[in-house]
Amino acid sequence: AEPPRARTPSREAEADFYCVKWITWKGERTPVITQSENGPCPLLAIMNILFLQWKASGVKLPPQKEVITAEELMAHLGDCILSTQPREPSEGLQLNFQQNINDTMTVLPKLSTGLDVNVRFTGVSDFEYTPECIVFDLLNVPLYHGWLVDPQSPEVVQAVGKLSYNQLVEKIITCKQASDSSLVSEGLVAEQFLESTASQLTYHGLCELTAAVREGELSVFFRNNHFSTMIKHKGHLYLLVTDQGFLQEERVVWESLHNVDGDSCFCDTDFHLSHAPGKEGATAAPPDHRLQQRQVDQDYMIALSLQQQQGQDPSALSDLELARQLQQEEYHHHHHHHHHHHHQQQQRQQQQVPAQGRAQPAGRPAGERRQRQKPDLDCTLL
C-alpha cells in the first residue's frame, strides 16, 4: 500500500471551488457542499448547516447549481453574519457586536484553509476562546469536540487538569526536563494520554457528546483538525458525508458516529441504513479516514434496523447500547481475527486508510470560551 499523499500548498490553492451535491432534506431539495481533499475546511461545515436550516438562515442556491466557489460561499456567509443579531444579547455582546463583526471579517479568509481552535479536555464545548470562535457564536452554531479525560482515571485528570491542548504539550516538555520525579511522571501520564487518545475521541467524550447535543440540533464537530457537520437523531449522532467521492450517491447522506474506532455505517437522509456500493480502485476510495467503511459491525446494523422497524426511540439502555457494549468486548477479545478480516476487506475494496495525524492547532490564551448549558447526564460504557 502506498503511503497517503501529503497535501502540498499548491494543491490547497487549487481547491477553490466545490461540487454541489443535491439531496432531499425534510422534503426539500437541499445543497450539500462536498470536498475533494481531506482538508480542515470549517467553511463547509458551517455553510452546510446554513443550507440544511435554510428556513432560518435564508441561505439558498439556484436548483441547477453544480459548482460553487469559495468566494461565493464567503459572500453567503458574510450576508448571514451581518443579518444575525445575537438571539439573547447581553449588554456586552450588544456593544461588542460591531467589534465582533470586524473580528469576524478578519477570520473569514481562514475558514477555507483552517482555523486555530484549541480544545480543553474538560468538556465537549470547552475550547480556548480565540477570535476564531466568534464566527460560531455569531451564527449560533455550537462547536463540539469529544476529546475528554475519563473522570475515572484520577491520575490523568490530575495531570491534564483544565489545560488546553497547547498548554498540555508545553507542560509535557517542561515536566520531562524537571528534576522532581513526581513532575516527570505527571508529564509521562499526560503524554501517555495524548498518545492513547490520538484519534481525539474518547468513550467518555462520546457519552458526554451524546448527552450534551440536543435532539435535532445541527452543530460543528471538531476532530483531528477536521470540521464536520453533526446532527443528533433519535438519540444518536451522525456526521454529514461531504466527501466528493459520494457526489452521485444520493442515498449516502449521514455517517454514524457510534464508536471511537472509526467503524461506522452510512445512512440516507431519513437515517435509514444505506449500503454504499463498493468502490472500484483505490482512487475512487474516499480519502477521509472516517469514511473508511471497514467491517460494518453486524450487531449495530441489526439493532439499528430492529429499532427502525419498531419505530421506537432508544430507551436508557437500548438494544443498540447493548450491541455496542458486546461489540466492544468482541473487539478486544478477537482483535486479531477482526484485524485479519479488516485487512481482507480492505484489500477487496482496495482502500488505503491514511494514518491519523494529531491536530496541533496553534492557539492563543485569550480568556475562556463561554460554557454552553448541557444536561446533567452521566453515562458510563461498561
Give the catalytic positions in this structure: 41, 226
Please tell me the distance from the alpha carbon of residue 13 to that of residue 93, in angstroms, as a whole number.
35
**Maximum Cα–Cα distance for the chain, whole Å?**
66
- Per DSSP, the residues of 251-276 read T--EEE---TTS---EE-TTS-B--P
Nearest C-alpha neighbor of 245 from the set 201, 291, 205: 291
Which residue bears the cell 435554510? 54
**SS3 assignment, position 128:** strand
**At 131, which amino acid appears?**
P
Contact assessment for residue 35 and residue 47, using Cβ atoms and an 8 Å cutoff: no
Strands (E), 184-282: 218-223, 226-233, 236-240, 254-256, 266-267
Please tell me the distance from the alpha carbon of residue 124 to that of residue 372, in angstroms, as a whole number.
9
Nearest C-alpha neighbor of 162 from the set 132, 118, 195: 118
**At 30, which amino acid appears?**
T
Q: Which residues contact 88 (CB under 8 A, 6 or more apart)?
A: none
Which residue bears the cell 471511537? 260
Please tell me the distance from the alpha carbon of residue 110 to that of residue 39, in angstroms, as a whole number.
12
Nearest C-alpha neighbor of 240 from the set 14, 23, 82: 23
Q: Phi then psi for 295, rounded to 5 degrees? A: -65, 105
Nearest C-alpha neighbor of 192 from the set 172, 162, 167: 172
Contact assessment for residue 243 and residue 287, using Cβ atoms and an 8 Å cutoff: yes
**b/e code 263-298 from CB counts within 10 Å (16+ = b):** bbbbbbbebebbebeebeeeeebbbbbbbbbbebbe
